Amino acid sequence: MKITFDSITKRYGELIANDAVTVSIESGTIHAIIGENGAGKSTLVKMLSGQVTPDSGSIAIDDKVIKGFSTHSAIELGIGLLGQDPMDFKNLTVMQSFTVGHRLNTSMMRNGLLRQEFERLNSVYDFNIDPKKKIYQLSIGERQQVELMRLLSNGAKVIILDEPNSGFSLEQKSKVFDALDGLTEEGCTVILVSHKLEDVLEYASSVSIMRKGTLVDTLDLPQSPGHLVDLMFGGHQEESVLQTESVTDTQNLVAKVQQSGQTIDLNLSKGMMVGAIGLQGSGVDTFLRNMFYDKSFLLTDAEGPIDKSSFGYVPADRLERGLFPELSILDHHALSSTLGHNVIDWTQIRSMCEDLIREYGIIGTPETKAHELSGGNQQRLMLSMMRSDINVAMLEHPTRGLDIQSADYIWDKLLNDKLSRTVTVFSSYDVDEIWNYSDYVLCFHGEDIVASCSINSISKTDIINNIAGNVIGRDE
């Protein structure tokens, strides 16, 4: 199915998300759309999927212009979107969520067929999702996997993948794209929105580059990564300068962690950056959440337990637990900065909000609502809301879905702030992130912490082996 965007424009107040974007995507191809956070990529594909209506311009499928934009009409046209934040029902089971809106879900007689179909796809892609679990019990990546299985099972002819790759292991990703390659040979079209240039270069045959809501160029692949990065950022990338000091292993901090029914003491040092890593579906998915909410978790220094009111937590699911979708950036800063106070000084809050928008490089205005921001800008908003007096910062996958420049900015910010904090803890599926930014590492296999030690006491190969189950050893 050929897709044609013709002069597509979409505004959110003063923010122009898409500015007269015109691009054609050929049938039977994997076409990538890249650009920095806030470039307008997700807005463009959300219009194709019927979630957003353009202010002007048109979209055609096989040269037939779409009349009326809705998710229902998109499904009827064979268009399926797998977004960064899955659209599902948290209180349903995995099986129930898989069947909602499924083409086979026409009568009670179809339940057996649907279960067989789910089990087949679950096995083919090696996802190992328990169909009896509730959706809220799954990680973001596992929820993406369920959504992808439903899209493929529903016979979508246009499949949009909006930053899905954080949910897949290397083997799973290979299987998924092998299947998508097979579908393109049958005439299906795949649109891959991604910040991972290695994935774009490996799987896509063409790429469109967007910057600040406009289309910069559309190119056949391969291209050099450097050339694509220059097009994404206009050839004026900010240098990433990590202004940080190494943390000496003085072990003046003890974290008492409950994991898999056992209490584990982690001997840390003040100012450390602690990285927790595991495969998708391992205990790392809920580790920070449990640390933040569980009263049994204790962090102790020489003066005794550290007050949890000084803890700050940034969850992975931005619009469900991190932000209020319908509230503005200004509203969020008002809420986060006036906790415990009865009066809001809106003049002061607006001034502070404008300063933080500039400091964190958020593409939006104080009036921009959270759901109108790109995923990367939602991430920046959540970080900007952390109070300056936070002693313990906890961040789940802090660079999920971020472009190169935004990810570098986040790490610079965290590294520059870490020595002023008691400890900073983050989780990631990316071995390179753990290796590059951690002073101390926790390796998860399944629900268990199988290694916990200074980064100087473990190799990158050891980390990979530990999280894969080939346990090298544990050095607390």
Which has more pLDDT, 59 or 68? 59
| Distance separating alpha carbons of residues 388 and 48, to the nearest angstrom | 41
Q: Which residues pair with 273 in a beta bridge?
A: 424
CB 168, CB 176: distance < 8 Å: yes
pLDDT band at 242 (very low <50, low <70, confident <90, very high): very low
Mean pLDDT score, 320-344: 83
Measured CA to CA, the distance from residue 329 to residue 323 in angstroms comes to 10
DSSP 328: B
Quickly state the pLDDT bin for 258 (edges 50, 70, 90).
Answer: low
Fold assignment, 253-468: Rossmann fold (3.40.50)
- Considering 141-155, 242-256, 296-310, the range whose residues carry the highest mean pLDDT is 141-155
Which of 96-110, 189-203, 284-298, 411-425 comes out lowest in average pLDDT? Answer: 96-110
The percentage of residues in the chain with a pLDDT greater than 70, rounded to a whole number, is: 87
Give the pLDDT score at 28. 92
Provide the strand spans (E) within 111-205.
158-162, 189-193
- Determine which of 91-95, 418-422, 470-474 has the lowest per-residue pLDDT on average: 470-474
pLDDT of residue 260: 65
Q: Which pLDDT score is estimated for 395?
A: 92
Higher pLDDT pick, 171 / 318: 318
pTM for this one? 0.62
What are the distances in angstroms from CA 377 to CA 54, 225, 402?
21, 24, 9
Q: Which fold has domain 3-233?
A: Rossmann fold (3.40.50)
At 326 the pLDDT is: 92
* Residue 404 or residue 133, greater confidence: 133
Give the per-residue pLDDT at 148.
Answer: 84
The domain segmentation of the chain, as residue ranges, is: 3-233, 253-468
Contact 429, 166 (CB under 8 A): yes
What number of residues does the chain have? 476
Positive or negative, the CA dihedral 251, 294, 143, 383 is negative
pLDDT band of 307, cuts 50, 70, 90: confident
Q: How far apart are CA 440 and CA 425, in angstroms?
A: 9
d(C-alpha 279, C-alpha 428), whole Å: 9
pLDDT of residue 339: 62
The pLDDT of 446-469, averaged and rounded, is 84
When pLDDT is averaged across residues 217-231 and rounded to a whole number, the result is 89
Range 357-386 average pLDDT: 88
CA pair distance 452, 262, nearest whole angstrom:
14
pLDDT in tens, 441-457: 999 887 888 888 899 88
